[in-house]
Amino acid sequence: MTHTTYREALRAAHHEALTRDPRVFIMGEDVGRYGGSYAVTKGFLDEFGAERIRDTPLSELAFVGAGIGAALGGMRPIVEVMTVNFSLLALDQIVNNAATIRHMSGGQFSIPLVIRMATGAGRQLAAQHSHSLEVWYAHIPGIKVIAPATLEDARGMLAPALADPDPVVIFEHAQLYNLEGELADPPPQVDIAHAAVRRTGTNLTIVTYGGSLPRALAAADELARDGIDAEVIDLRVLRPLDWDTLVASVRRTRRVLVVDEGWKTCSLAAEIMAGLVERAFYDLDAPLARVCTEEVPIPYPKHLEDAALPLPPRIVAAARRLCGQRAAAGS
């Protein structure tokens, strides 16, 4: 076992990819001389050179388009977008080109492109750098959307993403970069197809992903002291969703709480709730519930930012409401 951080796990995955496959290169704002906005590519420019670690101009539309062209030409580009808010400047390339070229070419062309970006709030960076727009991408056919929330996934998800013949968008919650823990050596292999049960339970299923996973696990620990045994599901893959794992959990616990840092309206939480009603309605003993970010641009002041986000106290309160009779009975 090796003590490491989420950031260093990502860095090790990228280093391995660059070392193993000469077609892999990284491009984006400040990935070279600066070492990446979150230090994931620190030292790579000196080791791999400017041909493979490419600093780009401040134009997401241009360098994501260049990544698509490189993927069409046989390369395996990793495009880093500094934050999800800035990725909106590249939506035309991602939605109208990367996601559609295989379909529009009748299967003649594929786009083996990986796009990484930071997402999420909690760092007092206000509305320009703090939103969670993962559902915008999970809405789009033709791309795969993943959200590593653990050291193992940070270390292991890049390799299968690079091996995928179609575009993969990776969302890294900015509050996870300093997450510390033990990672097996060699690291375990992971997939980009399945959700994971991070905590087993019998009274309630909490469904979440990304930066909300540690919050959900902390809430589950507090609920256990109330006699509520919560199961926690880490989606890991936001498109396509792993309905088999979700439905199996619902049939065990019969209650569901979805925790989603996106806004409630048209959210990923809404899609999960609708899908579970379609697939497991008669397995439910209570209405579905969700905890999302308040419907406001993320505020700058710390106390207002905290009030807007789905932090553990709000998760615990929602779970207690959902399981009130069971909690009172101590079961």
Task: From residue 229, give the alpha-carbon distance in Å to each of 25, 203, 252, 291.
Answer: 45, 5, 12, 18
Report the phi/psi class of residue 304: left, alpha or beta, with left for phi > 0 and alpha for psi in -120 to 50: alpha
Please pick, among 14, 129, 131, 173, the residue that the annotation labels catalytic.
129
The reply to whether 261 belongs to the active site is no
303 catalytic residue (yes or no): no
b/e 35-60 (16+ beta carbons within 10 angstroms → b): bbbbebbeebbeebeeebbbbbeeeb
Report the distance separating Cα 33 and Cα 253, nearest Å: 50
Contact 157, 170 (CB under 8 A): yes
- Please list the residues that pair with 81 across neighbouring strands: 117
- Would you call 276 helix, strand, or coil by DSSP? helix
DSSP structure string for 73-109: TT-EEEEEES-HHHHGGGHIIIIIIITTHHHHTTTS-
248: phi then psi, degrees, rounded to nearest 5: -60, -40
Distance of alpha carbon 284 from alpha carbon 240, whole angstroms:
23
**Looking at 8, 29, 60, 261, which residue is catalytic?**
60
Rounded Cα distance between 159 and 300, Å, is: 36
Q: How far apart (Å, rounded) are the C-alpha atoms in residues 112 and 169? A: 11
Catalytic residues: 60, 129
